[in-house]
Structure formats: structure tokens, C-alpha cells
Amino acid sequence: MSNERKMSTVANPAPLGLLGFGMTTLLLNLHNAGIIPLSVMIVAMGFALGGAAQIIAGIMEFKNNNVFGATAFTAYGFFWWSLILIWINPFENIEAASAEGMGFYLAIWGVFTLLMFIGAFKHNRATQIVFGTLTALFFLLAIADFTGIALIKTIGGWVGILCGASAMYASLAQVINNEFDKEVLPL
């Protein structure tokens, strides 16, 4: 019996996680920017691609011993599921979330994201842009909920559009670079 280490046959899950995050973030922030209404389309995307795809990618990152990726994808996947539960509030006799409560919810996610942003400095520029814009997005949306100032939410929406688009780019750049076995799109 050989002591050689087996070569992993598990594909890089990061493009899936980034795509799930990016597309869902982009779609929700089209709403936050005032371009489209909040609808079941955003909720469904949040459940399927934002939630499930990221959770799957996160679990696969655990298998790859990537603590950063595992933590990010799994946490943000469950963020989407928790946000959907907040929106639909399926729990009897539990008060709906207030604007102030949502401000705290988003601020706590902002703190987590800020700390993940620090960790992103060990990664490529694309990852740094995703986490930097996501940090700004969470804090802008929290401030908007705390103050009730619609313009701050709109600005946050535009930051979120940039964040989602940058995550989609990071995802698809990895896919394209992998397919061509060289750097076609810089990260």
C-alpha cells in the first residue's frame, strides 16, 4: 500500500460560490438602487443561488482545507436564507423585523465582513474588491435602516451592484482561466 497522497479530484468550488453570491447580490441591489421592485424573483434567487449554491461551495471549501472560503461561502449562504426568513416571517406570534432591528442585523454582518476583508488581503485583488465593496454595502444599508434616509439605501444599492458585478467577474474569470489553463482575465 502506497503512502502517496492522492491528487484531489474535487473542482475549485470558489467560482460557484462567487457566482451565487454575485448574481444574487446584483439582483437584490438593483432593488436597493430603486431600479426594480422586491419580488419573488429576488427571493427565489436568494434561496437557490445565493443560499444553496454558496452553502454547497462552502462545504466543498472545508474539504479543500480552505478556511477563508469555507467560512465566507457557508456564512453568506446562510445569510441569504436568514434574510429570506426575515422577509417572509413564517413564524407565528413573532414580531416582524423593525427598521432598527434590520440596522443591527446588517451592522453585525458588516463587522463580520470587515474582518473577512482584512483576511482578503492575503488573496487576489478581485477578492479584495468583493469584500471591500461588501463591507461598504452592509454599513450603508445599516445606516439607511437606522436613519430612514432613502438616499443612503440607493447609494448602497449602487455599491451593491458594483459588489455583485465584481463577484461575478471573479467567478467567471476563474472559470475562463481554468478552461484555457492560463490567465485570460486578471484577478
pLDDT band at residue 150 using 50, 70 and 90 as cut-offs:
very high
For residue 25, pLDDT over 50 is answered with: yes
Please give the average per-residue pLDDT across 152-170, as a whole number: 98
User: How far is residue 37 from each of residues 33, 108, 165, 187, measured CA to CA in Å?
Assistant: 10, 25, 19, 33
CB under 8 Å to 9, separation ≥6 — which residues?
Answer: none
Cα separation of 101 and 5, whole Å?
A: 50
Give the predicted TM-score (pTM) of the model: 0.91
Q: In this structure, what C-alpha cell is assigned to residue 174?
A: 476563474
pLDDT band at residue 6 using 50, 70 and 90 as cut-offs:
low
Domain-wise residue ranges, the chain: 14-179
Q: Find out whether 167 and 46 touch, Cβ atoms under 8 Å.
A: no
Residue 163: which of 9, 60, 50, 66 has the closest Cα? 50
Look at residue 4 in the predicted model and tell me its pLDDT: 47
Please give the average per-residue pLDDT across 153-180, as a whole number: 97
For residue 5, pLDDT over 70 is answered with: no
pLDDT band at residue 7 using 50, 70 and 90 as cut-offs:
low
Cα separation of 134 and 140, whole Å?
A: 10
- The 10 Å Cβ neighbour count of residue 152 is 18
The residue assigned the cell 468550488 is 13
- Mind giving me the DSSP string for 70-136? HHHHHHHHHHHHHHHHHHH---TT-PPPPHHHHHHHHHHHHHHHHHHHHHHTTS-HHHHHHHHHHHH
Look at residue 186 in the predicted model and tell me its pLDDT: 85
Structure confidence by residue, pLDDT tens digits, 38-56: 999 999 999 999 999 999 9
Structure confidence by residue, pLDDT tens digits, 62-115: 999 999 999 999 999 999 999 999 999 989 899 999 999 999 999 999 999 999
